[in-house]
Structure 1
Amino acid sequence: MDIDKPAALRATFADVPRWHFGMLNDSVRNRQYRNAIAKKLPGLDVLDLGMGTGLLSMFAVRVGARHVYGCERNPAISSIATEIVRANGEASRVTVLGRSSHDLRIEQDIPKRLGGLVTELMDCGMVGEGLLTSVSHARRHLLQDNARIIPEQIEIEFCLIQSEQIFNNNHVEHVDDIDLSTFNRYATPGYFPVRLRAWPFRYLSGRKSALRFDLERGEITAREELHEITATQPGIAHGIAFWFRAQLAPGIELSNDPQESTHWAQAIHCLERPQQVSRGETIELRIATDLSKIEFTLSDRSSKHA
């Protein structure tokens, strides 16, 4: 009966996050990916990780890739991707695989190890959508040794910021004379997305790079780094803002740097306790990733003057 149809549609809508529309209409993202694909993937059989609507897959075949095998584990999205690919006349050159790339098998799902890979599994903090684990798995199990990969390199850039308003998006203390601080038990322990330009904030340091991965040829393994960052002005450090910078192909970059106009927000990691800093003071940060999340912690050796 028709009475069931709205419920089914609501369930489908819930499975498709709204950010897909902003992503698909992101002209900077689309241009940079299209240019990188044209530079690296013609003549290759390609794996598209997290293909979504199939846009990048169709970019690839239209600039000369032989065939693209696109993985999309979200059933609602893989279903509509099949329709979109067919509607655009590319069903003979783009195969939609409705499963995770971790479940693919040579000969069963793809005919052989493939010569190229394209993916845009980057969230605001680089790792949250499984970029590193998925590319690592594909290199070991699905790709040729000399496969071309987009993006070929990626890293984060980070800085100290002051913003009580952003900090209060993840913490609460008192409202009037009522103590609500116990609710901080549910504060996000890692990073969360914030569009920096939408909130009052101050940079308390310059930016530094960390966690650089060579996705095409280097090791993709968990790591821990120590970085010193120096306050360029006095203030209260509420957290670390960071974003990714990806080299899609030689000379072609993409970033969610707050100065760039892309659909991505930036990532914020709040300090457990805001920290007063003075100009010239050096903070030592431990930055660690297990490939699925990124954590920042203050070193015991922090708070020294340059």
Structure 2
Amino acid sequence: MKTFSYTRADSPEAAVKAGGRFIAGGTNLIDLMKLQVETPEALVDISRLNLNTIEERDGGLLIGALVPNSDLAAHPRVIARYPVLSRALLAGASGQLRNKATTGGNLLQRTRCYFFYDTHAACNKRVPGSGCDAIGGFNRIHAVLGTSDQCIATHPGDMPVAMRALDAAVVTLKPDGDRRRIPLGDFYRLPGDTPQIETVLEPGELITHVALPAPPAGARQAYRKVRDRASYAFAVVSVAGVIAVEDGRIAYAALAFGGLGPMPWRDAAVEAALVGQAPDAATFAAAADALLADARGYGHNDFKIPLVRRVLTATLRELTQVQP
């Protein structure tokens, strides 16, 4: 680990003016620093800021950026009104890590691409312009949607997938004192020619809260995760769904996917294929077709394309109570 300076902020305003990388739980950043994948010159400790509350706001919830994942998953309002979020959180990492990892940090997890972590490999995300060894290399865990010829890495999170399906927004504080409310759908960036730029956050901008709107009335929620082992593993494919059925037709649909793209993936065409339709095999197949219209495998990860079709169908059957 390379030498760095350390300061502890006593307020969000002081944190954004301090200059440096923010650290709270450190469950991802510290690992990356040990491997010298990340080498910040300065760390700003925000772990003691008063950003660890969960409040009811405008019919929804306002979640502090420092709320631990375990506390968020166990909160009575989350369990009762946002069960997809609770289930997604409990599907991630281990109990020890969930006790330490924070809501804001979870949104900013970096990819678990093998080549990103290997400083001897070519990785445009780690060293822009160096190339991408995943393309043409062992890419079993990599993306099939939203990729570019510069990067095919996936976003690793569970919580952000559920939050994307719930129409969450990220609340931030900038060094000039301005605040922003960024819909999660606008928060992440596709890799394009700049895969090292993963979000729309500006230098020194701090996530202070995540806002959840009121959940759709009468909708069922589910989170389904397929992984290589039963616990402590990242998603090969995951689906977060919020579906309401009225009078035998799908009245509302929100679906987000993990393990498929460089961000928690949501496609309006998938939901359009469902809304107004009867919940049956033909409708589910049309939704899968819409999702996978532009999917591309890179060899070892080709299996994800038929796999997500099956996982999506199983999730839709669960949400609409259609028997297989």
TM-score by length of 1: 0.29
